[in-house]
Amino acid sequence: MRCLKKFIGILNKSQYIINRKKEVNVFNAIYQCKYISNSTFQEYNESEEENKIYSDLCQDYLGTVTRGNRVFIIQPYIKWGVQKKRSTTPELQLAEAVALIDTLPYWSIVGKKIVPLLSLQKKQLVGSGTMETLKKDIRSCPHVTAIFVSANLLKFIQIAELQQIFNLPIYDRYSIIIHIFREHARTSEAKLQVALAEIPYIKKKMIDLANYRIQKRINFDDKTKAFLHARERKLKNALVKLKEHRQLIKRQRCRYGFPNIAIVGYTNAGKTSLIKALTGDVSLQPENKLFATLDTTVHQGFLPNNMKVLYIDTIGFIQDVPETLIEPFRVTLEDAINAEIIIHVFDISHPDVKAQVQHVQKTIQSMVDENKLIINVANKCDLVEKNAIKSVVPEDAFIISTTKLTGLDLLRSKLEEDVINAANIIKKRIRVRTGSVEASWLYKQTTVLSAEPDSNNSQYLIMDILMTTPIFYEFKRVFHL
């Protein structure tokens, strides 16, 4: 009898060790997935000397924002012809230009003017009569220190001409948005992408100004050219590694079977606010400013049936910017919108909402499969009269308010309904021992619809599970089933 008890004790101890090993392996895997998903990317470094050289170049060709500026805004628009914008108005374009300047700390607006043009190709941008009017308008404003011409990308000859005429630094939308990106980039991923977006602008401006024979403190000599080429090459190599890094993160997400839902939209449409409302994550602090989010971040949430999903926040879109400005961000953006479901959120209260929606749709069209499920969400309905909503909202859009938490239950139900098909979710009935590591694993990694004691043996549970096919095979692999 004593030997039998000893043998049973050894068996129990062995089973306990096996179970503990299983448990450690499972939770190590879960921790590894979480660690990789939240890890930062650190593949680009430069010496202090390189940093100093590049800072001087940026000072000359991008300008500075640290001390602030008192800005006069010029909003040009094409009066007629094929280049005339018909989805928006000059007044709405000017309002967005104002919002861009207001996003920069210590910058203020002291004057603004809408200027009609026949084209944006003139060397001085406007005719002599309009130029004299602009001079008077700018002189009448107190202490103007910079001029913002709210055009996509000015020719650098135009910038040089205008700087000579007004004797003030000239900014276009590209340079202003770069400065906003610089202010808001927090992680090494975002800083890498911003740094790469700056290079084409600086190189083009230096070449054009050199050809125009405008003398700057730093000339575009062979040494400077080689420095910029080397920096760009390093940044592009780092971007390739960033893409590999994002693919690793994505493989880990897929391995553990969490359906992904990407949130896209125009800048300041309420993407982060929507994720906060859907997840209840109080650590998220949405900001009422343009490009508050530059990093692609992942947040866990639960659908009404208790299914775990991952919401992916993304950089916002904006009109009238060159492709080279957004191109470096496509690595993280394409990774995000490869999710099972895309939510396109837009600000229904914004007066330019139609143009914003069209711009986002056009931008992501080339990145997504034509069969990709896209759910339209009209946010900030609490700021709009009910009668005005129908005129601008697509018929299939969900009308919500993330601040008032209006309409979210219908959106969650829609996500619950669609994610099962979009993510190839399967339903399984599994029998496991009560309180076992297997049961714990299933509770953590799948959606448990029900769990009832086995009528034939109360030491076992019958669990109805929702899971992806990869997570089902992972379960079988981990527990050798």
pLDDT digits (tens, 9 = 90+) for 433-474: 999 999 999 998 888 999 999 999 999 999 999 988 888 888
**123-162 tens-digit pLDDT:** 899 999 999 999 999 999 989 999 999 998 888 889 889 9
How far, CA to CA in Å, does 293 sit from each of 84, 187, 290, 399? 31, 11, 8, 23
Q: Give the pTM.
A: 0.81
The arrangement of strands across the sheet holding 425-433 comes to 425-433, 457-468, 447-454
pLDDT recorded at residue 220: 58
Structure tokens at 286: 């949405």
* In the predicted structure, residue 35 carries a pLDDT above the cut 70: no
- The tokens for 5 are 């008890």
Provide DSSP, 89-126. -HHHHHHHHHHHHHHSTT-EEEEEEEEEES-S-STTSS
pLDDT digits (tens, 9 = 90+) for 384-395: 887 767 667 777
- Closest among 180, 158, 194 to 74, alpha carbons compared: 158
- H-run or E-run covering 452: strand 447-454
Residue of 354, 402, 396 lying closest to 382 (CA atoms): 402
Contact 321, 246 (CB under 8 A): no
Assign 10 a pLDDT band (cuts: 50, 70, 90).
very low
452 vs 13, residue with greater confidence: 452
User: Cα separation of 299 and 56, whole Å?
Assistant: 39
- Chain center to CA of 436: 41
Confidence of residue 326 (pLDDT cuts 50, 70, 90): confident
Mean pLDDT of 318-345: 86
Strand partners, 450: 464
Question: What is the arithmetic mean of pLDDT over 384-409?
Answer: 84
CA-wise closest residue to 263 among 297, 286, 290: 297
Residue 333's nearest CA partner among 352, 358, 360 is 360
- Taking all residues of the chain, what is their mean pLDDT, rounded to a whole number? 84
Mean pLDDT of 17-42: 41
Highest mean pLDDT among 32-41, 192-201, 272-281: 272-281
Architecture of domain 50-256: 3-Layer(aba) Sandwich (3.40)
More confident residue, 379 or 393: 379
Q: Report, as an integer, the average pLDDT of 10-37.
A: 40
- Do the Cβ atoms of 112 and 72 come closer than 8 Å? yes
Which secondary structure element, helix H or strand E, spans residue 358, and what is its range? helix 353-365
pLDDT at 13 over 70: no
Question: Is the pLDDT confidence value at 114 over 70?
Answer: yes
Given a cut of 60, is residue 226 above it in pLDDT? Answer: yes
| Nearest alpha carbon to residue 345 among 291, 388, 303, 400 | 400
Q: How close are the terminal C-alpha atoms of the chain, in Å?
A: 34
- Annotated domain spans of the chain: 1-43, 50-256, 257-421, 424-479
What's the confidence (pLDDT) of residue 21?
43
What does the pLDDT average to over 311-318?
A: 91
- Average pLDDT over every residue of 77-99: 88
CA gap 267, 317 in Å, rounded: 5
Q: Could you give the C-alpha distances from 222 to 136, 219, 226, 229, 232, in angstroms and in order? A: 42, 9, 6, 10, 15
Cα 466 vs. chain centroid, distance in angstroms?
A: 30
pLDDT at 480 over 60: yes
Query: At the topology level of CATH, where does 257-421 sit?
Result: Rossmann fold (3.40.50)
Question: Can you tell me the mean pLDDT for 222-232?
Answer: 87
Strand, coil or helix: what is 460? strand
Amino acid 9: pLDDT: 47
- The answer to whether residues 332 and 246 touch, using CB atoms and an 8 Å cutoff, is yes
For 90, 163, 250, 405, the CA distances from 313, given in Å and listed in that order, are 31, 39, 14, 19
